[in-house]
Amino acid sequence: FFRLFIVSQSVSRSFMSGLGGGGISSADGASAGAAASGAGAGSAGDVDATVKEPLDLIRLSLDERVFVKLRGERELRGKLHAYDQHLNMVLGDVEESVTTVETDEETFEEIIKTKKREIPFLFVRGDGVVLVAPPLRST
């Protein structure tokens, strides 16, 4: 049973059905599976702004830009469209940065290189996620 929490309408229904179907929750409340289990993101108007569990912080970041640090010195910045309890995520307008450290064989100096690329849509597998930072909010 795969449950995916979705707020953004920009994720097409055909894309969502390809992720496994049942239990998908969207902003328009179209999921009976998520409603029956008591889970789901709800609409933007009735989102509870309290953080009681760790995933509540991720829920509050739906449809906003987040910073995701992955294993292997990879970093992502993108708009969070969807996530699940395993921290599998769907990000849009993603900027990926991969940092590599090489050692010069003659001087033994470390050379740090960073490669960046833009990705329109990306599915991130949760087992590679080290950190998720929500956007800064003013108090």
- Residue 135 is predicted with a pLDDT of 84
Averaged pLDDT for residues 85-113: 93
**HEC profile of the chain:** CCCCEECCCCCCHHHHHHCCCCCCECCCCCCHHHHHHCCCCCCHHHCCCCCCCHHHHHHCCCCCEEEEEECCCEEEEEEEEEECCCCCEEEEEEEEEEEEEEECCCCCCEEEEEEEEEEEEEEECHHHEEEEECCCCCC
- Residue 34 is predicted with a pLDDT of 38
Per-residue pLDDT tens digits for 10-52: 444 334 444 443 333 333 333 333 333 334 444 444 556 788 8
CA dihedral (7, 73, 54, 66) positive or negative: negative
- Residue 5 is predicted with a pLDDT of 52
